[in-house]
Amino acid sequence: MPLLRGRKLHFLHRGSSADRVDSVHGIVIVCTVFTAHLLCSMMTRCAGVLYLSWKNEFGSSASQTGAIASIMSSFSYFAAVLAGIACNRWGCRTTWILGGFMMFVSSLLSFWAFQLYQMYIIGAFLGTGVALCFISSSIAVAQYYKKYYAIAMGFTTAGTSSGMIVFPPLFRLLLDTYGWRGTMLITAGLSANICVVGAFYHPPYTERRRRIKQPEPDEQLQVSQTDNESIRMEIHPKSHEHAGRLDKKKGRSLLTLASSLASELGLNLVRRSYRFTLFCLIGMQFNIAYSCFLVFLVPRAQLCGIDEQKAPFLLSLFGFCGLGARVGSGFFVSRKIPVEVTYTISIILICVAALCTQAETYVAFAASACIVGVGTGANKAMFMVLLRKIVGLSNMASGCGISYMFGGIGDLLGPIFAGMLYDKTGNFTAVFYVLAGLVAASALQMLLLPLLGKIEPGLKEKEDQPAEV
C-alpha cells in the first residue's frame, strides 16, 4: 500500500521551509487516534452498564440517574465549540492531552462522589474532556492525509465501534469484582493513556503565531476590519493625541468585540458557506434518529414479545456492523465514489432500518440493527471527510465545533421528543415512522448541496493542504 512506502513527505507551510515527516509517522497517528476514540467511547457510549449501580447507590429515580449519561453525551457535543477554539489557539497536541487529563481527573473524582449533583458535575467535565480529545485527534488525521484521508478516518473512527464492543462486557466483569467505584478508578487509569497517545502526535508543519509589532511612542494604531481576519494593525507616525482618541474609540467599540468573538467561534463559516449551514442541520436531524435508535430499539423489541435475553444482542449487532462500515466506507470513497454519494446512502439506510422495525419480528429487528449499524458507521466515518471538503483544512477546528454542537442538540432532543410521542400514542409504531420520514427528508436535503455551492460567497483557504499520503 502507498501508506507503507518509506519515502519522505513534504508538508508545506505558507512561505516557510518544509518540514520533512516520514510517512511511517502518519501510520502512527492513525493508531494513536484509533486508541483515543476507543477510550473516548468508554464512558459516553457504555455508561449504561453502570446505570443500575448508580441508581441503587444514590437512591435516585430513573430519569435522575439517566441524566448522568445524558450530561456526559451532551457535553461531548456542546463542548466541541470550545475544542475548536482550543485547537486554533494552542494546537491539537495540547488540546488532546488536556482532554485526556480532564477525563482522567473526572473519573478519579467520581470515586469520592456521594451526592447525585456531584456526578452531574463530573459528567459535565468528563464530556468536555471527551470533546477536546475527539475533535483534536480527528483534526490531527486531517493534517496528515489528503488522498487517503477517507481510509484513515474509516480506521480511526472504528475505535468508537470497537469500544462499544469491548467495554460493556469489561465493565460488567469489573462491576462484579470491584463495584462501581473500583470500576471508575480503573476507568481513570485507562483514560490517562489518552495523554500518552496524544504525546505521540507531531504537527506536520510548524505553526507560527502572528506577532504584531508594538508601536513606538510617536506612532498610532489604525484598526481596519477585514472579512476573515478580525483586526490588522497598520502603523503610521502621527500625533500622540490622535492616537489616544483612536484607542478610546476602539475600546468602546462593541462591534469590534462582537466581531472578534464571532471570529473565534468560527461563525463566519455559517455566514459565508450555505453548504456548511445545511450540513449542520442535516447532521442534527441524523443524530435525532441515531440517538432514538440507541435508546428505543431494545425496548420496542421487548414490547413486541422478544425475549429479554435476546433483545440486548441487537446492540451488539449494531456495534459489529458499524465497525465494518466505518472501515469499509473509506475504501469506497477512495475509489472515486464522491463522498456526498456515500454520505447520502448512509442516511437512506437509516430510513430503511426504521421501516424494517414495523414487521415486529426478531429477524426484522436484527436486520434493522445491522442496517442502522452500517448506515451510522459509514455516516460517522464520512462526516469529517465531507466537512473538510466543504470548509477546508484551515477551518476544520471551527467547523467541527459548530457541527458537533448542532449534533448535540439532536442527540439531546431526539429521545425526549420520541418519548413524548410514545406517551401520547402508547406505542413505538408512530415513533419509528416519524424517524423514517425525518431521515428521508435529510437525504433529499443532500441534493441541495451542489446548488448552494454555486451561490454561496465561499470560504478562503488560509493554509496549504497537506501532501498526499
**CATH at residue 201:** 1.20.1250.20
Which residues, other chains included, contact 350 with Cβ-Cβ below 8 Å and sequence gap of 6+?
Answer: 286, 289, 290, 293, 371, 372, 375, 376, 379, 435, 439
CA distance 78 to 404: 7
Residue type, 34: F
Instruction: Please indicate, yes or no, whether residues 80 and 215 belong to a single structural domain of this protein.
Output: no
Q: For residue 214, is it within any domain?
A: yes
In a 3-state reduction of DSSP, which class is residue 467? coil
Instruction: Please indicate, yes or no, whether residues 441 and 337 belong to a single structural domain of this protein.
Output: yes
User: Is 90 exceeded by the pLDDT of residue 95?
Assistant: yes
Backbone angles phi, psi at 309, to 5 degrees: -80, -30
Contact indicator for 153, 330 with CB cutoff of 8 Å: yes
Instruction: Please indicate, yes or no, whether residues 318 and 416 belong to a single structural domain of this protein.
Output: yes
CA distance 396 to 403: 10
Look-up of cell digits 465514489: 337
Which residues, other chains included, contact 360 with Cβ-Cβ below 8 Å and sequence gap of 6+?
Answer: 304
Instruction: Please indicate, yes or no, whether residues 171 and 30 belong to a single structural domain of this protein.
Output: yes
In a 3-state reduction of DSSP, which class is residue 304? coil
- The per-residue pLDDT for 436 is 92
User: Is 90 exceeded by the pLDDT of residue 423?
Assistant: no
Instruction: Please indicate, yes or no, whether residues 424 and 447 belong to a single structural domain of this protein.
Output: yes
User: Is 90 exceeded by the pLDDT of residue 281?
Assistant: yes
Kindly state the average pLDDT of the residues 304-318: 78
Q: For residue 254, is it within any domain?
A: no
Q: Enter the C-alpha cell of residue 354.
A: 426504521
Largest distance between two CA atoms of the chain: 85
Instruction: Please indicate, yes or no, whether residues 233 and 203 belong to a single structural domain of this protein.
Output: no
- The per-residue pLDDT for 445 is 93
The angle formed by the CA atoms of residues 383, 387 and 388, to the nearest 5 degrees, is 120
Instruction: Please indicate, yes or no, whether residues 196 and 73 belong to a single structural domain of this protein.
Output: yes
User: Is 60 exceeded by the pLDDT of residue 134?
Assistant: yes
Contact indicator for 133, 310 with CB cutoff of 8 Å: no
Query: What is the rounded end-to-end Cα distance, in angstroms, of the chain?
Result: 10
Q: For residue 164, is it within any domain?
A: yes
137-189 pLDDT, tens digit per residue, is 888 888 888 778 888 888 888 888 888 778 888 888 888 899 999 999 999 99
CA distance 412 to 393: 29
Q: For residue 31, is it within any domain?
A: yes
Name the least confident of 70-74, 135-139, 162-166, 257-261.
257-261
Element (H, E) at 188: helix 149-199
437 confidence band (pLDDT: 50, 70, 90): very high
Task: Provide the residue range defining the domain that includes 215.
Answer: 210-242
Backbone angles phi, psi at 337, to 5 degrees: -85, 125
The tally of domains found in the chain comes to 3
User: Is 50 exceeded by the pLDDT of residue 76?
Assistant: yes
Instruction: Please indicate, yes or no, whether residues 234 and 288 belong to a single structural domain of this protein.
Output: no
Name the least confident of 84-93, 220-229, 287-296.
220-229
User: Is 60 exceeded by the pLDDT of residue 217?
Assistant: no
Of the residues 209, 228, 252, the one at which a domain ends: 209
Q: What is the pTM of this model?
A: 0.72
**Cα–Cα distance list, 271 to 118, 262, 264, 266 (Å):** 39, 11, 14, 10
42 confidence band (pLDDT: 50, 70, 90): confident
Instruction: Please indicate, yes or no, whether residues 52 and 171 belong to a single structural domain of this protein.
Output: yes
Q: For residue 251, is it within any domain?
A: no
Of the residues 209, 231, 252, the one at which a domain ends: 209
Instruction: Please indicate, yes or no, whether residues 222 and 164 belong to a single structural domain of this protein.
Output: no
Instruction: Please indicate, yes or no, whether residues 114 and 158 belong to a single structural domain of this protein.
Output: yes
Q: For residue 384, is it within any domain?
A: yes
**β-pair partners for 8:** 22
User: Is residue 423 classed exposed, middle or buried when 0-12, 13-18 and 19+ CB atoms within 10 A define those classes?
Assistant: exposed
Instruction: Please indicate, yes or no, whether residues 195 and 296 belong to a single structural domain of this protein.
Output: no
Q: For residue 58, is it within any domain?
A: yes
Q: For residue 343, is it within any domain?
A: yes
